[in-house]
Amino acid sequence: MTSLDEKIQELQEIIDNAERIVFFTGAGVSTDSGIPDFRSQDGLYHMQYDYPPETIVSHSFFVNQTEEFYRFYKDKMLALDAEPNYTHKLMADLEAKGKCIGVVTQNIDGLHQKAGSKKVYELHGSVLRNYCTKCGTFYDAKYIKESEGIPRCEKCGGLIKPDVVLYEEGLNEEILNGALNAIESADVLIILGTSLVVYPAAGLVRYFRGDKLVLINRDVTPYDSNADLLIQASFSDVIPKLKV
């Protein structure tokens, strides 16, 4: 059995030797910033609501029960005070050093960019962008958070929708292609903090053709056996030990 320290050492060597790292991230990278993930024991999907969260964050629920959607969304998904943690910062530092060519993320919290990452492919959109469904006027997340009930456009009264991919909605093709290209041209793919059960996002991992697939996650995932290096641990026990 390889000890955690040995695995961290191996990861350090992979990073040192890499030229084109791509990170693939999920909600787990933001739990150390105080944002709950979805499927962990203390994640959103284990809390009790009037409807299952998967139902609430669906397109049909947004259309048919808009007020209820926004009650949940504002309360649980708009963590505007959250700050990036050491995991976001590691990725930004590696990009600044010219070693990371992109972060493909399922997260909608904007923390990768807040940490300094520039090449971020937001597969599921961002809570930071919101648009009037009638006239297209842009609104920031603060406007949504501070609105009473259903946020409406100041100009035309239209319903505002977050630029977030809800269940039953398709992914943005341009972002998807950008993510695919990045993954296909990576020599190292490092997957962090995702249960890898939501498609099509999780399927992107299959397009990796490079040297080393690294998977760091606290819980098991369906892709564990595909990893060249699997680190099943909390980020706090791994990431701060790495040197950029």
Residues of the shown chain interacting with ligand OAD in the complex, contacts defined by CB under 6 A: 26-28, 31-32, 37-40, 43, 57, 106, 124, 165, 193-195, 198, 217-219, 234-235
Taking the complex as a whole, the smallest distance from the CB of residue 156 to ligand OAD amounts, in Å, to 28
Tell me the β-bridge partners of 23: 103, 190
Residue 239 CA to residue 182 CA, distance in Å, equals 23
Q: Which of 46, 59, 112, 124 is labelled catalytic? A: 124
- 40 or 66: whose CB is closer to ligand OAD? 40
Give the alpha-carbon dihedral of 206, 20, 4, 42, to 10 degrees. -60
Residue nearest to ligand OAD (CB): 28
Residue 66 CA to residue 141 CA, distance in Å, equals 17
Taking the complex as a whole, the smallest distance from the CB of residue 34 to ligand OAD amounts, in Å, to 11
- 15 or 44: whose CB is closer to ligand OAD? 44
- 121 or 235: whose CB is closer to ligand OAD? 235
Residue 45 to residues 41, 49, 54, 196, Cα–Cα distance (Å): 9, 9, 8, 15
155's tokens = 């100009």
124 catalytically annotated: yes
Sign of CA dihedral 120, 121, 126, 128: positive
Find the helix or strand (DSSP H, E) in which 190 lies: strand 188-192
- 22 or 153: whose CB is closer to ligand OAD? 22
Q: Catalytic positions, please? A: 124
